[in-house]
Amino acid sequence: MEQLAGSPAFLDLRDRIIELARLRSEDRVLDIGAGTGLLTLAAAPHVSHVSAVDISPAMCARLRRNLDREEIDNVDVLTDTATALPLADESVDAVISNYCLHHLDDNGKRQALTEVMRVLRPGGRLVFADMMFSLDLVDPRNRAVVALLIKRVLKHGLAGISRLAKNATRIAAGRWERPATVDWWLEALHRAGFIAVSVRAFEHEGGIACARAPHPTT
């Protein structure tokens, strides 16, 4: 995963997320599904505090090592789940996340949004990137994304064909990642009570979402 996180595409995505989150030096930030720290390591030097949550103890251990190496000491690494965040109500100014939420089923994603709303201060920002498409091939964007993914995999010859077969088996067995579409996220974010919602698809399979927690009067 560290290799993927270091790819130009992920570094570009990291910069976009950080920029859109408009982080300020006094901010307390939450990174959901922090992994080895792509977002956390970039955000921490510019804010007051980061809570980095990841469900995997192994990822958390690697992130702690990376933080030690970079001598960053304003991050708490918390082994926990996006669907039951280990943080107090209204305790963070911004929530950021990269390529985590497709690991959750639709109920899990909705629960994660409810949790984000709970821990965000009024006016707080949410910015996340994730895979955004579905296997419903009636939709032209989904068709284009699936064709692109197949083309990418087939470029690797026999190894690619074997990976394609493996993925087809995972889909058939219901063990495929669970990306949601742009429309799904728009509806879910509005339903969870967020305002200033925008969700944009990239040319590839990904997309980026931005939203804000309302002030009590809005």
Ligand X SMILES: C[S@@+](CC[C@H](N)C(=O)[O-])C[C@H]1O[C@@H](n2cnc3c(N)ncnc32)[C@H](O)[C@@H]1O
Residues that bind ligand X (CB under 6 A): 1, 5, 32-35, 38-39, 53-56, 59, 81-83, 98-100, 103-104
Helix (H, G, I), strand (E, B) or coil at 30: strand
- Looking at the Cβ atoms of 87 and 100, the one nearer to ligand X is 100
Distance in Å, CB of 33 to ligand X, minimum = 3
Distance in Å, CB of 218 to ligand X, minimum = 29
- Looking at the Cβ atoms of 10 and 194, the one nearer to ligand X is 10
- Looking at the Cβ atoms of 4 and 161, the one nearer to ligand X is 4
Backbone angles phi, psi at 132, to 5 degrees: -135, 90
In the chain, which ranges are continuous DSSP H helix?
2-5, 8-20, 38-43, 57-69, 106-119, 140-154, 157-172, 182-191
Distance of CA 195 to the CA centre of its chain: 19
Distance in Å, CB of 112 to ligand X, minimum = 7
Distance in Å, CB of 145 to ligand X, minimum = 17
Helix (H) or strand (E) holding 26: none
- Looking at the Cβ atoms of 42 and 213, the one nearer to ligand X is 42
User: What is the number of the residue whose Cβ is closest to ligand X?
Assistant: 35
Residue that the structure tokens 């790819």 belong to: 7
201 DSSP β-pair partners: 207
